Structure 1
Amino acid sequence: MATLPRAVRHAHRRVAALGLLALLATACGQGSATGGDAPAAAPVNASDAAATAPLKINTSPEQNRVRADKAEDVAAKVPEAIRARGELIVGITGDGTPPLSFLADDDSTVIGVESDIAQLVADVLGLKLRLDRTSWENLFLAVKSGKDDVGFSNITVTEERKDIYDFATYRVDQLAWEVAKDGKVTKIAQPSDIAGLKVSVGSGTNQEKILLDWDEQNKKAGLAPIEVQYYQRPADYYLALKSGRIDAYFGPNPTSAYHAAVSGDTKIVGTLSGAGESLQGLIAAMTQKGNGLVQPVSEALNTVIKNGKYAEVLKRWGLSNEAIPTSQVNPPGLPRQRK
């Protein structure tokens, strides 16, 4: 996705300074946790947010990130070529999707929960963090080719991706249904709830796969099909929501919750695991398949989970409810797409 227009980003920051980001702790879907991951938590809605303590977000280039100490035993497991270089090159989008990855007030420094967790991993591995800002599509190519050591960009583990990449998990994956605040849709919890709706979703995403699967289920049940609309920029689908050209947007819960909180124009009417209804989706750091980096990355994540630095970062960005108790290497992912 393209970067949000500067005026929109700055509007988000002004509202964030007023402490309206408490809603970001929403979250958890209907799928059961797998492999020891945290069970799904009850979603937080807009009315609940008003009762919680305000959360202020620092959007300046001087982030004063949470830092961690080097763990010699874990750092020793990093592939020699990366250790010799002394840098961990992290592919990241910085594409204007707060609180995940977006630009600071200087319009050039990438900030957000993704870069903060990447910093913790680099610290534990004894490496200097170098962020390589790129597009979503090029991120996968950069990691596959070895140009980037690891990708941190809200990447969901899928069985198909595991054929090409290795994964070390660090958050649960939640999706959200966002609608106009005064729109006709009040709840989306099952496939029949979207029958006949106009829905926007990101092309090539896991949520698109889930959306199309729900639509197929509806059509087999004799229900009206959905109309899918694709937009390149967040500003475009939010304008479509506001104008009534679409009934709902289906995307990552953190960004939708953030937008609902700061804009006042939309609301969340349902959440779902990023892997669908039967499996808790997981967000992970992505490395080149078989290059030996994924295990130390996972151990670095478990180090900061254990010492509390990980929890500090999630709390900083309002995402404590997306925490996992243990980082896993290549856990069960989103099922393969049926052909």
Structure 2
Amino acid sequence: MNIPQRSRRSVAVIAAAATVSLALAACATGGDSAAETDDVFVIYGEEVPFNQELYDMLPDDVKEKGSLSFSTDAAGPPRTFVDDSGEIVGVIPDVIHAVGATLGLETEILKNSFDAEVPGVESGRFDFTTGTGDFPHRREILDLIDYYKAGRVYLVQAGNPMGVTKDELTQCGLRVGVLKGTTQEQLVTELSQRCEDEGLEPINLQSFNNVLLPVPLEADRVDVVWENTSTGMMVAEESPDKFELADVLFQGYVAFGLRKDRPELRDTMQQTLQHLMDTGVYQTIYDEWGQGELVMDYISINSDNRDLQ
């Protein structure tokens, strides 16, 4: 599957931005303040200066380390994906680099399978997950900083040959593709049971690891994929000769997840993201990737899906 032209054009800008961000972050040192620098990180024409007040909120161990680490499956463009040069790019990396510039910290984005993100944070291997849906069962394990409207789409081949509609029972007996370890995997499993309860054929569930879901759909390995809204909408718009949307459902928020014993880091991250929203940087990043309609009203912690129910 080819990445849409618009996203490819953004890659060079993002890669350059990441380099600048890391260079600025290298100026940060442990102690009571970050080293001053005349350089200012710029992304898509927006300046993102270092903020001493937010830096002062960080826990001491993060100041001493001078960096934050983030886990991503990098399998959901334009949110996050690997470009042709092997760089992890997208909306989320852009936001992360802006966070790093604001706090004067290095930001490390590491590729990981989706189902390993939460265990990686629990074990201390990473500071944050990046694509965790804010649902009650997840809040039992992590604190969640909501920063991205999300949901799912039913992405099918152009022409919708299997007749998938918003009625989920039209997927009974079909090959349905999801990412392993996601809420979608659980929901499709439950839907398959509903199919059987209704006297219909069960779903042939196909779970994938670190795969762009439109790839097996285009290869006719599955009949429909339950894709995230940002990726599904982009793919359908950019490749209408190959894909279309059978339905779109906004259902919650994507969050940065971290351990519950890190309240200082949690609050600093929430206020840093809110600062980026208030200064217009957040909106600029989302607009650049064609994701402006997925911008939240404000950055929240452990939200109860407040305006999407």
TM-score, scaled relative to structure 1: 0.73
Higher strand share: 2
Q: Per-residue displacement from partner, 1:293-330 (whole Å, max 9, x unpaired)? A: 11111111111111111000101111111110111111
Match of 1:161 in 2: 138
Match of 1:295 in 2: 267
Q: Per-residue displacement from partner, 1:211-245 (whole Å, max 9, x unpaired)? A: 2233333433444432222344646x646534645
Match of 2:172 in 1: 195
1:227 aligns to 2:227 (yes or no): no
Find the partner of 2:10 among 52, 55, 58: 58
Q: Secondary structure at 1:246's aligned position in 2?
A: coil
Match of 1:207 in 2: 184
1:254 aligns to 2:243 (yes or no): no
User: How many residues in Structure 1 have an aligned counterpart in Structure 2?
Assistant: 276
Match of 2:88 in 1: 110
Find the partner of 2:290 among 318, 321, 330: 318
Say which structure, 1 or 2, has more relative contact order (CA 8 Å, 6+ apart). Answer: 1
Unaligned runs of 5+ in 2: 18-41
Match of 2:276 in 1: 304
Displacement after TM superposition at 1:186 (Å) = 4.6
Distance 1:218 1:93 in 2: 31
Distance 1:233 1:149 in 2: 21
Q: Secondary structure at 1:283's aligned position in 2?
A: strand
Match of 2:105 in 1: 127
Amino acid across the alignment from 2:53: D
Whether the 8 Å CA contact 1:191–1:218 is kept in 2: the answer is no
Whether the 8 Å CA contact 2:71–2:111 is kept in 1: the answer is yes
Displacement after TM superposition at 1:102 (Å) = 1.8
Distance 2:177 2:226 in 1: 6
Q: Secondary structure at 2:267's aligned position in 1?
A: helix
Whether the 8 Å CA contact 1:144–1:289 is kept in 2: the answer is no
What fraction of aligned residue pairs are identical, expressed as a percent?
Answer: 20
* Between 246-255 and 70-79, the greater mean CA deviation after superposition: 70-79
Whether the 8 Å CA contact 2:72–2:109 is kept in 1: the answer is yes
Distance 1:92 1:241 in 2: 22
RMSD value, Cα:
2.6
Q: Secondary structure at 1:62's aligned position in 2?
A: helix
Displacement after TM superposition at 1:286 (Å) = 1.0
Unaligned runs of 5+ in 1: 1-7, 22-55, 274-279, 334-339
Amino acid across the alignment from 1:328: S
Whether the 8 Å CA contact 2:100–2:106 is kept in 1: the answer is yes
Q: How does 1:133-144 map to 2 (within 5 A)?
A: 133-144=111-122
Whether the 8 Å CA contact 1:89–1:132 is kept in 2: the answer is yes
Distance 1:207 1:309 in 2: 31
Q: Secondary structure at 1:261's aligned position in 2?
A: helix
Distance 1:184 1:222 in 2: 23
Whether the 8 Å CA contact 2:70–2:127 is kept in 1: the answer is yes
1:88 aligns to 2:68 (yes or no): yes
